[in-house]
Chains A and B, each alone.
Chain A
Amino acid sequence: MLKSFVEQYTLREKIAMDAIQTSPEKAQEIISSLMSGTVSSCREIPLTQGNPDMYIQYFYNLIAMVAMFGCMTGMHITMQNQANLSALGARNNCSPAPKLVTILACLTGSFIIQTVCMLLCVTFLAFVLKVDFGDRLPLVYPAAILGGIMGVSFGFFVGSVSHMSEKAKTAVLMSASMLLCFLSGLMMGDIKGTIAQKAPWFNNINPAAVVSDSFYCLNIDEDYTRFITKLITMAVITVVFIMLGFIISRRKKYASV
C-alpha cells in the first residue's frame, strides 16, 4: 500500500513537470484536474448477494468431514455381516434371511442415525456458533443429510471390499476421508481452487468436495442449478457405492470361521 502511494505521488509529479515543460499555459488546469478526485473509471459488477467470506468454507468442509465420518457407521454394517470379523456376522451368515434384506435394514438404521448427526451438526453451527450460511439455511439441511447418507454408503462400500480387521478398516477409512477432506480444503482453504485449475474433474467426484460445494453454491449462486447438480451428484455417488457394496458382499461363502 505504501509503495503504491509513493508511486502515485511520483507519477503525478512527473505529469505535472511534463505539463509545465511542454505546455505551461495549460499546466495549472492539468494539475488541478489531476488533484481533483475524478469519477471512477471502473464500474463494479456484483457477483453475489451471499456471504463472500472465504473462511466460511472451513465450516462447509467441517460439515463435509462430519458427513464423511458417517463411513464409520457404514463400516460397522459390514462388520456385522462378515462372518470372520464378528460373532454377529457369523450368526447373520447362517441365518435364512436374505442378505439383501438384512443389509438394507442395517443401512436404513445407519442412515437415520447419520441424519440425526447431520441435523445436530448444522443446527449447532447455524444457531450456536452463528455461522452465516446465506439466506437459504433450510436448504442446507437436506444437502447435509444427503452428504451424511453418502458418507455411510462410502463406509459400507470400503468395508465390503475387503475382509481386513476392524483396525485396518478404520485406518483406511479415516485416512481416506481425511485425505478427501484435505483435498476439499479442510486444512488449506485455497487447495480447491488449485485443484479446480489443474484437475477440475476431481472436485466433481471427490465426495467431501461435492458436499462442501453444495453449501458454497447455495450461498454464492443466485439460482439453484449448480446446487441441484451437486445434490444429484451426491445421490449418484451414494447409489453407486451401495450397489457396489451389495455386489461385493453377495454370495460370499465361508468354508470355516
Chain B
Amino acid sequence: MQVFKTMFRVMRSRIPSAMIYIIIFLAISAFVTSQSTKDNKFEMNRLKVCVFDEDDTPESRALTEFIGKHNDIVEIDNNRDTITDSLYYKTVNYALIINKGYAERLAAGETAELFGSYHMDESYSVVYMSKMLDEYTGSVKAYLAMGKSFEEAVSATEAAMSQETEVEMFRVDKGGDSHFSVDFAQYFQFMPYILISVIISIVSLVLVTMNKKDIRYRTNCSCLKNSKYTFQLFFGSFLFVLFIWLIFMVAGAVFNEEMYTGRAWLAVLNSFIFSMVVAALAVFIASFEPKDNILNLVTQVLGLGMSFFCGVFVPMEILSDGVLSAARFLPAYWYVRANRMISEEDAFSSEGVMKCMLIECLFIVVLVLMTILVRRLRYSSASIGSAVKKAAA
C-alpha cells in the first residue's frame, strides 16, 4: 500500500487549509441551529410591534397593553434611522404612534387618524395591524353609542376582541417533516459549498501531485501493477471523502441534539451521494493536471457558481426560471431539490427524492466515464510519444 500511504502523507500537509473551511462552516451552522426552533404547530404569528405613545393616558396605555397580549412589544429608539432599519430588516413588523389627544377624541366618538404608523412597504403585518386598530376603535365607538362609559366601552371591547378562534391545521404547513425540520434542512442545504471547496481543493491537489510527470514515470517503471496503483488511488480518495462526510454527519447529529431518525436518513443518504459526485468531479478535474492557481480558481468558480445557481445560498424561490433551468445541468440543483422535498419545503414524494438521487448518481457515472476518456487521450502512447518528440525538439 505504498501509493495509499504516500497519498495520505501529501494530504496531511493540506489538511490545515481544509480544516479552516470546515471549522468556519461548523461555527456558522452552530449559530444558525441555535437560532432555530423545531416547532411545527400552527401558531398565530406574534408580530413585533413598537409603540410610541404620545398621548400617555390610561386609555392609551390600556391599548398598548392590549396590543401586547397578542403581539410582542419591542422597544426601539424613536429615531427615524433606527425605525427605518428595524422595519427594513423586519426586526420590527409595525411601528405605531398613538397620537396626542387619542383618549379625548375617541371618547367623543371620533375615529379618524387617531394613530400614525411608519410605513415601509405593504405587507401582511401592516394590513393586519391597521385592521385590528380599526376594529378596536370601531368597537369602542359602538359601545359608547350603547350608552356605556368610556372605561366600560374599552373593557367591553377588549373582552369582545379577546375571543379566540380555534384553528386546527390539517396539513403541516412548511413546518417540515417532524424528523427533519426546515431549520435543520438549512444545515444540509449549505453543505454543497463546503464539500466542493474542501474535497476538490484537496483530492484534486493530491491526485495532481501524484500524477506529476517525474513521479508518474517513476511509478510506471516500478513493479507495481497499474490496476493496483489506480485502485489504491481511488481507495485513498474514497476514504478521505468518507472521512470529511462523516465529520459533517456527526456534527449534524450534535447540532440536531439527537440521532437522525425517519426521513432525516434520506437527507444523510442524499449528502453521501453528493459527496461522491464531488469526489468524481475532483478526479475529473485532476485528470487535466491543472496548476495550483488554476485549481484554486476552478474550485472557487465551481463552489460559488453552483451555490448561487442551484439555490444553496439563495433560496430557490427567488431564482428566476431561466437560472433554474440552466441549473438543472448541475448536480447541486438535484441535491437541493431532494433536500427541499425531504424537509417538505416542496411537496414530498419518495419517487421525486429517488429521482433526484438517481440523477446525482448519473452525474457520477458521466464524470467517471469522462475521466476515463480524458486519461485515455492524455496518456495514450500516441500523445505521450508526441509530447516526448516535442520536448526533444
Contacts and interface: CB of A to CB of B under 8 A. Distances in A.
B32 interface: yes
Interface stretch (A49-57, A109-117, A153-161): A49-57
Consensus secondary structure, chain B interface:
helix
Contact of A190 (B83, B89, B201): B89
Contacts of A168: 16-17, 20
A214 to B, nearest CB: 14
Interface in A181-213: 182, 186-190, 192-194, 196-197
Interface stretch (A7-15, A96-104, A140-148, A232-240): A7-15
Interface string A13-48: 011001100110010011001100011111111111
Given A40-B134, A193-B85, A175 B161 contact: no
Given A3-B44, A3-B167, A220-B84, A171 B115 contact: no
Interface centre among B17, B114, B118, B292 (most CB of A within 10 A): B17
Contact of B118 (A34, A45, A53): A45
B156 A8 contact: no
Interface string A52-72: 111100100000000000000
A30 B142 contact: yes
A19 B142 contact: yes
B133 A42 contact: yes
A171 B142 contact: no
A22 B144 CA distance: 12
A47 B86 CA distance: 12
A168 B131 CA distance: 58
B195 to A, nearest CB: 14
B204 to A, nearest CB: 12
Interface residues of A, number: 60
Given A15-B139, A33-B145, A175 B131 contact: no
Contact of B117 (A38, A44, A187, A194): A44
A43 B115 contact: yes
B141 A33 contact: yes
B121 interface: yes
B219 interface: no
A142 B178 CA distance: 49
B24 to A, nearest CB: 4
A14 B24 contact: no
Given A22-B147, A193-B90, A42 B163 contact: no
B133 A41 contact: yes
A178 B24 contact: yes
A70 to B, nearest CB: 14
Interface in B85-105: 85-91, 96-97
A187 B135 contact: no
A182 B314 CA distance: 12
B296 interface: yes
A18 B165 contact: no
A4 interface: yes
Given A22-B146, A54-B88, A178-B24, A38 B134 contact: yes
A210 to B, nearest CB: 14
B35 to A, nearest CB: 8
Interface string B156-176: 100011011101000000000
Nearest to B45: A3
Nearest to B19: A171
Contact of A179 (B18, B24, B114): B24
Interface string B101-124: 000000000011111111111001
A61 to B, nearest CB: 10
A41 B83 contact: no
Q: How large is the interface on B (under 10, 10 to 19, 20 to 34, 35 or more residues)?
A: 35 or more
A5 to B, nearest CB: 9
A21 B116 CA distance: 35
Contacts of A39: 111-113
Max chain B Cβ within 10 angstroms of own Cβ: one of A6, A42, A45: A42
Given A10-B163, A48-B84, A168-B16, A55 B318 contact: yes
A167 B163 contact: no
Contacts of A186: 313
A128 interface: no
B143 A41 contact: no
Given A41-B137, A42-B117, A47-B120, 16 more contacts: A4-B132, A11-B160, A14-B160, A26-B145, A38-B111, A40-B112, A41-B130, A42-B129, A44-B116, A45-B117, A47-B118, A47-B119, A53-B121, A166-B292, A171-B21, A196-B89
26 contacts: A3-B165, A4-B131, A4-B132, A15-B139, A15-B143, A22-B146, A23-B146, A33-B141, A38-B111, A42-B113, A52-B120, A52-B121, A54-B89, A166-B292, A167-B17, A170-B17, A171-B18, A174-B197, A189-B89, A190-B91, A193-B88, A193-B89, A194-B91, A196-B85, A196-B86, A221-B84
Interface of B: 14, 16-18, 20-21, 24, 27-28, 32, 35, 44, 80-81, 83-91, 96-97, 111-121, 124, 126, 128-139, 141-143, 145-148, 156, 160-161, 163-165, 167, 190, 197, 201, 292-293, 296, 300, 313-314, 318
